[in-house]
């Protein structure tokens, strides 16, 4: 791990590491009442949506020349994407037209995740827990989809552009995966396990 980088950029993105700990503190006092069925159903949405996001990232990569969009098969794309680690930082320099589309797509993604959460729960605590659950699994599903299709990220230290709103957020892949994994664990460990009527 010679290229390990501890901090994300900009500095305030690192505050996201607090999310699972704050959630644990909040949910420990008032456990969210989430049924296994609700968690499973929302997990199906989140993981499926992660695959869609992964596909969008692949298309975006092809559009800006990071991936050869003309390759015949996924294995061709995976073979020809050998320098994605080096080029991931270039996504911050998208042409203005694509950057505008990407910002709108990211905003729409957040609204979709919020709308599922609002539909799933009435109480604020449960709504927050479902949002964290969906967001974390969506994020994990995104990286799984990328790895399954184009064999990227190559390692936990692969650089990535996480979001573009309001400025590009960059980190190594381990950072969002760690936060998402801890968040999933918090929701599972703190939810009310009793019979919900």
Contact 10, 16 (CB under 8 A): no
Separation between Cα atoms, residue 48 and residue 27, nearest integer Å: 26
Contact 158, 88 (CB under 8 A): yes
Please report the pLDDT score of residue 85 as a whole number. 43
Contact 162, 169 (CB under 8 A): yes
Please report the pLDDT score of residue 132 as a whole number. 96
Contact 129, 36 (CB under 8 A): no
Separation between Cα atoms, residue 73 and residue 67, nearest integer Å: 12
Please report the pLDDT score of residue 91 as a whole number. 54
Please report the pLDDT score of residue 62 as a whole number. 76
Sorted by sequence, the CB contacts under 8 Å of residue 62 that are 6+ apart come out as: 68, 69
Please report the pLDDT score of residue 18 as a whole number. 97
Residue 169's DSSP bridge partners are: 163
Please report the pLDDT score of residue 196 as a whole number. 47
Tokens of 177: 């995966």
Please report the pLDDT score of residue 82 as a whole number. 47
Q: Which of 114, 128, 149, 130 is CA-nearest to residue 42?
A: 130
Please report the pLDDT score of residue 13 as a whole number. 95
DSSP letter string over 137-156?
HHHHHHHHHHHHHH----ST
Separation between Cα atoms, residue 165 and residue 106, nearest integer Å: 8
Please report the pLDDT score of residue 173 as a whole number. 95
Please report the pLDDT score of residue 87 as a whole number. 46
| Residue ranges, the chain, pLDDT below 50 | 70, 80-89, 196-197
Residue 161's DSSP bridge partners are: 170
């Amino acid at each position: 791990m010679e290229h390990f980088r501890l901090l994300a950029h900009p500095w305030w993105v690192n505050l996201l590491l607090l999310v699972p700990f704050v959630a644990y503190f909040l949910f420990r006092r008032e456990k969210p009442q989430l049924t296994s069925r609700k968690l499973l159903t929302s997990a199906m949405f989140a993981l499926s949506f992660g695959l869609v996001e992964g596909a969008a990232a692949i298309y975006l990569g092809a559009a800006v020349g990071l991936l050869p969009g003309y390759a015949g098969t996924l294995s061709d794309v995976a073979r020809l994407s050998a320098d994605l680690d080096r080029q991931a930082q270039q996504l911050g320099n998208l042409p203005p037209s694509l950057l505008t589309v990407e910002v709108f797509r990211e905003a729409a993604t957040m609204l979709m995740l919020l709308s599922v959460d609002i539909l799933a729960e009435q109480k604020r605590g449960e709504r927050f827990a479902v949002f964290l659950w969906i967001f974390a699994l969506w994020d994990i599903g995104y990286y799984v989809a990328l790895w399954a299709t184009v064999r990227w990220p190559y390692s936990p230290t692969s650089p990535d552009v996480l979001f573009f709103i309001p400025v590009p957020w960059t980190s190594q892949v381990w950072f969002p995966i760690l936060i998402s994994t801890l968040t999933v664990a918090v929701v599972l460990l703190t939810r009310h396990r009793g019979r919900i009527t």
